[in-house]
C-alpha cells in the first residue's frame, strides 16, 4: 500500500503567515514531521508519496529521510486543488492507497480504523467522518447504514445530511481507478475531487468510519494556537542538562526546556510550555502555556501567555496575550498585544469580520515586523510581513505587508515659570 500525503496549496486564508502550514515548527519540529511519525508508527506501507511544491521539495524530502521513511516527491506546479494534487502523482498511484493531509492533526487510530474497515469489508473505498455537535462549513457524508450515498459540500446550517464532516483520510483499493475518475471529473468550483467521489459513490462500495477523536485543521492562522495547545498537552517536564536555569527561577508543571536555553532570576514559567533551543527568558518574565521556538529572547519583565512565538523574536517589558508571531518579530519596551475586547464579544477578523469563536485573541504577525515603544495593538489585528508600527501607535486595523505606520504628534510649547513648591512638604506627610 502507498500513502499519499498532500502537502501543497497556497494557504491564502493563513495571511499574514507566510510559512507553508505543514512546515510551521511546533516544539522544534515542522508539523509534517508529526504526520510522518504517526504513519511510520501505526501503518504498514510500501512507500510514501508526498505531493508538494517545488520550493518545498528539498526540505520536505529531508524531513522524510531523517525519519527513515521511503518516499517519493511529486510536484504540484500550481495550487489547483486536491484533485490536481493527486493527478500530479498519477504515475505512482496504483493499487491500494491512503490519502491524507499533511497539516491535519488527528489521532493515529483514525488511520488504523479506516484500514481495518477496508480489510474486514473488502470495500472499494473507505472514508472517515468526524462527528460534530454544531455546524461546520465543510463537506458532509450522506450515509445509509454503514455505506456512503454521497457527499454534500457546505450544505448550510440545518441542511446537514448527517452529523459526519468528511476528513481527508481516504482509502482506495484501486488507486488507478481513482485517477481515471479524477481525469473525467470537471467543475467550475474547486471541488473536482468531491465531484469524482460522488461518481465513485454511485458505482462502488463506499463505506465509512465514525471518528470522534482530536481533529485540528489548520485553515486560519489563529488555529496555530489550537494546534500548539494540543502539542503542549503531550509534554512532560524535561529540562535539558545543556540549558541554564537559575535556582531563583520558578518552573511549574510540564515545561520542556531545550539545550542552550537560559532562564534568569525571577522568571516564572507555568506549564505546559515549550522553551526552544537558545531561548532567553529574562529576569521577572512570566511565560504561561506558550511555545517559544528557537532563538526567542524575552528581556526584563515580559508577560507572554497562551501564545505561539516563532523563531528569533525579541521582547522587552511587553505583554503578549493569545498571539501568533511567525518569527523575527521585535517589540519595543512597553508595547502591548491586547487579547480581550472590553465587551467580551468574540473576536472577528478583517473586513470580512470572520468570527474566530474566540473571546481572547491577540495579534497575528508575519515575519520581520517591528512594533515601537508603547504601541498598543488591539485584539485580532493582523500585521503583515516586514511592517513597522511606530512608537505610541494604537492600532485597530490590519496592516498590509511592507507597511510603515507612524503617529504624528504635535507639541504645545509655552514658557514655564518655576513654582516655589518643595517636595519636602510631601515628604513630611509620608
What is the rounded CA–CA span in Å between residue 128 and residue 330? 43
In terms of DSSP bridges, do strands 280-281 and 308-309 run parallel, antiparallel, or are they unpaired?
unpaired
pLDDT per residue of the chain (430 residues) written in tens, 0 to 9: 999 999 987 778 899 999 999 999 999 999 999 999 998 887 889 899 999 999 999 999 999 999 999 999 999 988 888 999 999 999 999 999 999 999 999 998 999 999 999 999 999 999 999 988 888 878 888 888 778 888 887 888 888 888 889 999 999 999 999 999 999 988 877 778 888 988 898 888 888 888 988 999 898 999 999 999 999 999 999 999 999 999 999 999 999 999 999 999 999 999 999 999 999 999 999 999 999 999 999 999 999 999 999 999 999 999 999 999 999 999 999 999 999 998 989 999 988 889 999 999 999 999 999 999 999 999 999 999 999 999 999 999 999 999 999 998 888 999 988 776 666 766 676 6
Q: Where in the chain is the domain with CATH 2.160.10.10?
A: 223-405
Cis bond upstream, residue 272 (ω within 30): yes
Give how far the C-alpha of residue 298 lies from the chain's centroid of Cα atoms, to the nearest Å: 22
What is the rounded CA–CA span in Å between residue 386 and residue 392? 19
pLDDT by residue (tens digit) across 138-166? 888 888 877 888 888 788 888 888 888 99
User: Any idea which fold 2-216 has?
Assistant: Spore Coat Polysaccharide Biosynthesis Protein SpsA; Chain A (3.90.550)
Cell of 192: 473536482
pLDDT at 386: 97
Cis bond upstream, residue 16 (ω within 30): yes
Q: Where in the chain is the domain with CATH 3.90.550.10?
A: 2-216
pLDDT at 20: 93
> Alpha helix (H) ranges present in 71-127?
82-87, 109-121
pLDDT by residue (tens digit) across 224-245? 999 999 999 999 999 999 999 9
3-state helix, strand, coil in the chain (%, to 5): 20, 30, 50
Q: pTM for the whole thing? A: 0.91
pLDDT at 217: 85
Nearest Cα to 292, choosing from 304, 278, 310, 280? Answer: 310
pLDDT at 426: 65
- Which superfamily does 223-405 belong to? Hexapeptide repeat proteins (2.160.10.10)
| CA distances in angstroms from 337 to 16, 171, 376, listed in the order given | 16, 44, 6
What is the rounded CA–CA span in Å between residue 220 and residue 218? 6
| CA distances in angstroms from 397 to 65, 287, 364, 415, listed in the order given | 43, 27, 12, 39
Amino acid at each position: 500500500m502507498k500513502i499519499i500525503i498532500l502537502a501543497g496549496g497556497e494557504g491564502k486564508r493563513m495571511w499574514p503567515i507566510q510559512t507553508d502550514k505543514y512546515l510551521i515548527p511546533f516544539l522544534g519540529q515542522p508539523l509534517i514531521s508529526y504526520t510522518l511519525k504517526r504513519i511510520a508508527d501505526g501503518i504498514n506501507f510500501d512507500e510514501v508519496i508526498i505531493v508538494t511544491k517545488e520550493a518545498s521539495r528539498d526540505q520536505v524530502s529531508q524531513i522524510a529521510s531523517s525519519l527513515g521513511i521511503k518516499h517519493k516527491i511529486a510536484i504540484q506546479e500550481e495550487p489547483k486543488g486536491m484533485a490536481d494534487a493527486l493527478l500530479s502523482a498519477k504515475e505512482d498511484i496504483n493499487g491500494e492507497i491512503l490519502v491524507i493531509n499533511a497539516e491535519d492533526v488527528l489521532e493515529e487510530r483514525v488511520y488504523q480504523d479506516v484500514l481495518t474497515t477496508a480489510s474486514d469489508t473488502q470495500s472499494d473505498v473507505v472514508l472517515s467522518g468526524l462527528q460534530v455537535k454544531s455546524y461546520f462549513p465543510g463537506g458532509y457524508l450522506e450515509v445509509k447504514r454503514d455505506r456512503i450515498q454521497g457527499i454534500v459540500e457546505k450544505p448550510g446550517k440545518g441542511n446537514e445530511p448527517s452529523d459526519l464532516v468528511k476528513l481527508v483520510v481516504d482509502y482506495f483499493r484501486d488507486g488507478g481507478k481513482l485517477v481515471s475518475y479524477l481525469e473525467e471529473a470537471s467543475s467550475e468550483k474547486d471541488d473536482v475531487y468531491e465531484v469524482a467521489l460522488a461518481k465513485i459513490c454511485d458505482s462502488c462500495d463506499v463505506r465509512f468510519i465514525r471518528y470522534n477523536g482530536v481533529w485540528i485543521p489548520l485553515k486560519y492562522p489563529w488555529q496555530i494556537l489550537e494546534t500548539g495547545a494540543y502539542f503542549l498537552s503531550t509534554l512532560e517536564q524535561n529540562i535539558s542538562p545543556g540549558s541554564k536555569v537559575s535556582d531563583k527561577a520558578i518552573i511549574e508543571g510540564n515545561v520542556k526546556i531545550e539545550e542552550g536555553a537560559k532562564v534568569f532570576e525571577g522568571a516564572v514559567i507555568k506549564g505546559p510550555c515549550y522553551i526552544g533551543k537558545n531561548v532567553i527568558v529574562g529576569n521577572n518574565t512570566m511565560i504561561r502555556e506558550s511555545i517559544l521556538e528557537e532563538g526567542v529572547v524575552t528581556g526584563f519583565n515580559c508577560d507572554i501567555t497562551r501564545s505561539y512565538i516563532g523563531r528569533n523574536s525579541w521582547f522587552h517589558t511587553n505583554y503578549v496575550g493569545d498571539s501568533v508571531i511567525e518569527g523575527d518579530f521585535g517589540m519595543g519596551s512597553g508595547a502591548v498585544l491586547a487579547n480581550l475586547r472590553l465587551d467580551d464579544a468574540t473576536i472577528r477578523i478583517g473586513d470580512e469580520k470572520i468570527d474566530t469563536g474566540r473571546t481572547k485573541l491577540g495579534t497575528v504577525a508575519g515575519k520581520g515586523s517591528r512594533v515601537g515603544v508603547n504601541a498598543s495593538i488591539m485584539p485580532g489585528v493582523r500585521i503583515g510581513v516586514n511592517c513597522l508600527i511606530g512608537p505610541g501607535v494604537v492600532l485597530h486595523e490590519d496592516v498590509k505587508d511592507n507597511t510603515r505606520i507612524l503617529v504624528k504628534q504635535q507639541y504645545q510649547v509655552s514658557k514655564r515659570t518655576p513654582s516655589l513648591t518643595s517636595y519636602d512638604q510631601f515628604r513630611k506627610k509620608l
